[in-house]
Structure 1
Amino acid sequence: MTMPTLLDVIAAAERLRGRIVRTPLVSSPSLSGTRTSSVFLKLETHQTTGSFKLRGVSNMLLLSGQNAKGFVAASTGNHARALAYAAQQMGKPCTVCMSKLVPENKVQAVQALGANIKIVGASQDDAQEEVDRLVLSEGLLAVPPFDDKRVIAGQGTIALEILAENPHIDTLLVPLSGGGLAGGIAMAAKSIKPSVRVIGISMAKGAAMVASLQAGKPVTVTEEPSLADSLGGGIGIPNHYTFDLCKTYLDDTLLLTEDEIAAGIRHAYRYEQEIVEGAGAVGIAALLADKVRSSGTVAVVVSGKNIDMAVHQALISENQKI
């Protein structure tokens, strides 16, 4: 099983041209100076569907989905939004399986993008079983959220854009969950500029990839509620690609408390005028918490904006209990 390479990422970038937003890389005066000399924010919050996920999903569908009857996935958030949008752009049907515990606002957000929603069971494991059944019974193409070469290559295009726009970047701060984003970016960035440091950042509660890297193999963890809910979940056992990519290419990992993540969300709103979900705010949060120091130039991947707005309002009003 061959790992994705820089050539896969370059091909993905060409494939995605005109189909995704080339998101802005903006200077952050509020984060530059004391903690590091210069900080830039890669705003995937400006991506269509509000997160980086559209890159990987679109690359997979363009490569392998032209002859598919339709697509299916188990997701409650950004992956589902991306799949629904990309399938709609291709004129193909899309089914998203969710458990009955998923809040109605999340169901409606995906449904609004044209997806057929199937509510199954009381967990995402139950939802995944329905995905597997639909693949066999209806011939739908399953679209995995991270552990897939085509998806990883799509996410890696973020590194190409960052280094093309600012080749002086010395350190990349990337949200770390299943490893498709962090692994893809780290592999692509280091293939272009081996000296660049790539740090994966997650929440202290239930960080599966960090626990797996510490154990030296993929392991399961107990999933806990977190403001960075998009970083939750397992990495898959077996894991085919992302564990090895993160093990090979990440220079370090960092874990953040809920209070630190909340501070990152507040800072993004007050000083950057950006609405950012918890997972997207972890790089900013790590800088604010003095967990990253660099005398060089830092790029922070701000991965998405799809936060519950009632939670966001409470956080920026500092009324939310963590």
Structure 2
Amino acid sequence: MVLPFHQRVALVSGILLTFFLLLFGGVAYFKIKFYVDKEVSARQLQRMKTLQLDIHSWMIPSMRHVEELAQELEEYAPFEKQNVVPLLAHAKKSIDAVQVYFGIEDGRMMYDTGKELNKEWYDPRKRPWYHEGLAVSEAIVSNPFVGFASNQLTLTIMTPVFVKELKQGVVAASFYVNKLYAKIKAIPMEEGYAFVVNRDGEVVMHSDKSMVAMQLTEQNDALKNLYKTMQEEEEGLYLYEDENNKELMSFGTLHNGWFVVVSTEYDKAYGFVDALLKLLWIMGVLMIVLTVMVLMRMTQKSIRHG
């Protein structure tokens, strides 16, 4: 069947119009998606950087104070109690520590309170914190642990004390981690969650405390790849996918070599984008249909009046 001339004109015009609308619509779609991807990525990285800055605002000054204390103690060798205790007490007040203490190579142990332990009862040289501090050359942060007396989650910043370039002891400051946990849990759960991983891939802080001590290297391939990516890059984005979840994670390195991670469900991160793009496609289709209908109507009228 041969279509009348006016219908052929309307059909060809409709096809051309549809083609150009789809062409421009496709270009607009990918352009919008490109800029939206950048916006979502920037927003996710900014959330991580905010948390990273919050943690650094506590960690860096505290580590610096402990290192400065070690340098001060160096001047008071052979570490008489009347000289050492005031330095420990002043440091405790300055950095708001729970406790500041000093273990010495001869087996003595001093606290900011003035207490000095007998090495037959407590020898610091046999304690893990002392070995950790003696093995490094600058301040390090321990993994969180439950304090024996306080029964609260605690971490320790420790550094060696040098005398004539030889390590003669370890000074340490203990802190409750409530403040750090408060920063991590400050991210609303409906927007995602955050956690901190140490250099060995162990989760040391998590908004869900049941996840603490989990080893990323012993989990699924997605988490193994996350840990590998964090080791290779100082900061970035990682798309986590497993059988049940799809999450957009941003990560960055902390001053002590740990990693901070902020995760958001992929659908929540891009939900408004999908809704916007669907709306654009619906509007585009309606524009095509309405334009073709109007064109055909106008063509029919012109034929009748021709």
TM range (shorter): under 0.3
Structure with higher RCO (Cα < 8 A, 6+ apart): 1
Q: TM-score, normalised by structure 2?
A: 0.26
- Structure showing greater radius of gyration is 2
